[in-house]
């Protein structure tokens, strides 16, 4: 039995030479961007769920093809041509809220092209609305809920063995004109049940090159992405991945030895010079982080690495150990500068400690990136002001401030809906960069956007007046130029600046 797993590319014209596109599989916050036609995006997350599923299917002796059309800049016509040529027995792809109309239209196109092929969907939007999708779209045969790799493998085994798919947990299947839920599935635990991701099948079976994926926070190329854990024990009410894909479930880790084995293999096989741990939160378990660092040091592994982490559980000793093991960068979400809002969203971060962590990292040569969200459900102008004042005094190397999107399946969406604040169910507007889908009962989001832009300008101005900060940025810039090459640096900068200009103009 042959499976084709893919990540479709949806593009829309944006001027003469540019197009809007969507980052979907691999991103915890699906969103759009704008790029030059004929180029790949400047941010490309590795599609881990697809890659784990592909590896697991292959381990069970299924024939597997894969194709990440976003990374290949392969349009839908090229994808359909590939599907026609491969003639798979089943296809699988993830859905997202902003692209669900296109996702379901694509399912219909595939069914018309190959009427006997099974069309299987997963991902956040179809997890939230499986009944409606199956009832209204006959081209869709199965929907896999939440974290789907094990469900897909068991469904494949049932189809191959002639047993009933209704016995597979974590599945919604067609039942006459309606839909039938099978039993609930527990999260994959221990996480070590997962095989290593099928890096050799991405971005495509016929063009394996995981070094093509890129996060702009990385400082060396090739920089290859890994996972060391899944989930998060904190309960931020806007977090799509933790609430929908993991059902607010248990935080799980891979063994430290396996993680470092994977780092060594990526270095040996693909020449990785940096590993980016794109976890939901790499630094939650301090003992685990220390174990990974100790394993790297004990093996004498010389490779740089960076991570998506958190300031909550870091200590000066742990930061020094991470730096000794090769860590060069930590991203972390602060979300708000208001202690009251931190409590309401469910994030137990100490705002004073965040500033300490930034100082510890700076002393060890670890670059920091802090993110904030405005327009949270309980925000008011006082809390927005607290956040903007706090971030203006933050000495992080880079900063990101976004207006929060209430994705279906999150408590943020449910609270906004209960309060009558949802302005539209036109799902195409539910872009991670959107701001016109929800009203706010306490603040004017237009005013917040203007305040956000002004605060970012003030943050940069204050940083530029700090000789220590400017010197640090000069060192990091030189490190990046050496690590990735000047041509790549300036190509990335051009893409980012062009995108920001076109978004602001629109």
Q: What is the mean pLDDT of residues 458-465?
A: 95
What does the alpha-carbon distance between residue 81 and residue 4 come to, in Å, rounded to a whole number?
13
pLDDT at 506 over 70: no
pLDDT band at 504 (very low <50, low <70, confident <90, very high): low
pLDDT band at 499 (very low <50, low <70, confident <90, very high): confident
**pTM, 2 dp:** 0.95
* Per-residue tokens: 150: 């094990």
What does the alpha-carbon distance between residue 375 and residue 405 come to, in Å, rounded to a whole number?
8
pLDDT band at 435 (very low <50, low <70, confident <90, very high): low
Sign of CA dihedral 413, 417, 419, 423: positive
By C-alpha distance, which of 293, 306, 395 is closest to 354?
Answer: 395
**Alpha-carbon radius of gyration of the chain:** 22
% residues pLDDT > 90 (the chain): 86
pLDDT at 77 over 90: yes
* Domain 215-505, architecture per CATH: Alpha-Beta Horseshoe (3.80)
Kindly report, residue by residue over 190-227, the tens digit of the pLDDT.
999 999 999 999 999 999 999 999 999 999 999 999 99
Is 2-181 assigned to CATH 3.40.50.2300?
yes
What does the alpha-carbon distance between residue 214 and residue 274 come to, in Å, rounded to a whole number?
11
The string over 158-170, giving b where at least 16 C-beta atoms fall within 10 Å of a residue's C-beta and e elsewhere, is bbeeeeebeebeb
For 259-291, the DSSP string reads HHHHHHHHHHHH--SEEEE--S-TTS-HHHHHH
Q: What angle do CA 316, 319, 321 make, to 5 degrees?
A: 110
Q: What is the mean pLDDT of residues 299-324?
A: 97
What does the alpha-carbon distance between residue 462 and residue 316 come to, in Å, rounded to a whole number?
26
Domain positions in the chain are: 2-181, 215-505
pLDDT band at 16 (very low <50, low <70, confident <90, very high): confident
How many CB atoms within 10 Å of residue 232?
Answer: 21
């Amino acid at each position: 039995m042959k499976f084709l797993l893919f990540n479709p590319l949806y593009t829309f014209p944006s001027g003469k030479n540019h197009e809007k596109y969507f980052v979907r599989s691999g991103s915890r916050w699906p969103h759009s961007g704008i790029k030059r036609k004929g180029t790949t995006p400047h941010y490309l997350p590795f599609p881990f769920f697809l890659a784990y599923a592909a590896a697991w299917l292959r381990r069970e002796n299924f024939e597997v093809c894969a194709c990440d059309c976003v990374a290949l800049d392969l349009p839908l016509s090229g994808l359909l041509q590939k599907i026609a040529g491969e003639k798979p027995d089943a296809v699988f792809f993830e859905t997202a809220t902003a692209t669900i109309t296109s996702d379901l239209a694509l399912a219909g196109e595939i069914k018309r092209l190959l009427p006997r092929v099974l069309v299987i969907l997963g991902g956040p939007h179809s997890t939230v609305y499986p009944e409606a999708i199956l009832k209204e779209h006959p081209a869709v045969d199965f929907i896999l809920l939440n974290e789907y790799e094990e469900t897909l493998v068991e469904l494949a085994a049932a189809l191959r063995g002639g047993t009933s798919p209704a016995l597979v947990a974590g599945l919604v299947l067609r039942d006459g004109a309606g839909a039938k839920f099978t039993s609930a599935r527990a999260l994959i635990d221990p996480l070590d049940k997962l095989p290593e991701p099928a890096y050799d099948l991405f971005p495509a079976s016929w063009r394996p090159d995981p070094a093509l994926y890129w996060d702009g926070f990385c400082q060396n190329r090739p920089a290859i992405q890994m996972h060391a854990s899944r989930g998060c024990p904190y309960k931020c009410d806007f977090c799509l991945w933790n609430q929908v894909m993991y059902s607010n479930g248990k935080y799980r880790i891979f063994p430290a030895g396996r993680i470092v084995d994977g780092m060594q293999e990526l270095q040996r096989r693909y020449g990785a010079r940096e590993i980016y741990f794109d976890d939901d939160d790499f630094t939650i378990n301090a003992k685990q982080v220390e174990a990974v660092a100790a394993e790297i040091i004990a093996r004498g592994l010389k490779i740089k690495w960076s991570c998506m982490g958190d300031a909550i559980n870091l200590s000066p000793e742990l930061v020094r150990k991470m730096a000794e093991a090769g860590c060069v960068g930590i991203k972390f979400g602060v979300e708000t500068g208001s202690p009251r809002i931190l409590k309401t969203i469910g994030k137990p971060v100490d705002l004073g400690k965040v500033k300490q962590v930034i100082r510890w990292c700076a002393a060890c040569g670890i670059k920091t990136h802090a993110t904030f969200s405005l327009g949270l459900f309980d925000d008011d102008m006082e809390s927005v002001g607290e956040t903007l004042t706090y971030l203006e005094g933050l000495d992080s190397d880079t900063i990101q401030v976004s207006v929060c999107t209430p994705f279906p399946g999150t408590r943020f969406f449910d609270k906004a809906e209960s309060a009558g604040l949802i302005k539209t169910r036109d799902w195409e507007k539910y872009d991670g960069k959107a701001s016109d889908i929800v009203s706010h009962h306490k603040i004017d989001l237009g005013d917040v956007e203007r305040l956000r832009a002004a605060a970012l300008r003030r943050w940069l101005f204050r940083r530029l007046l700090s000789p220590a900060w400017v010197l640090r940025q000069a060192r990091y810039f030189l490190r990046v130029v050496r690590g990735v090459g000047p041509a790549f640096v300036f190509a990335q900068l051009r893409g980012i600046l062009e995108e920001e200009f076109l978004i602001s103009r629109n």
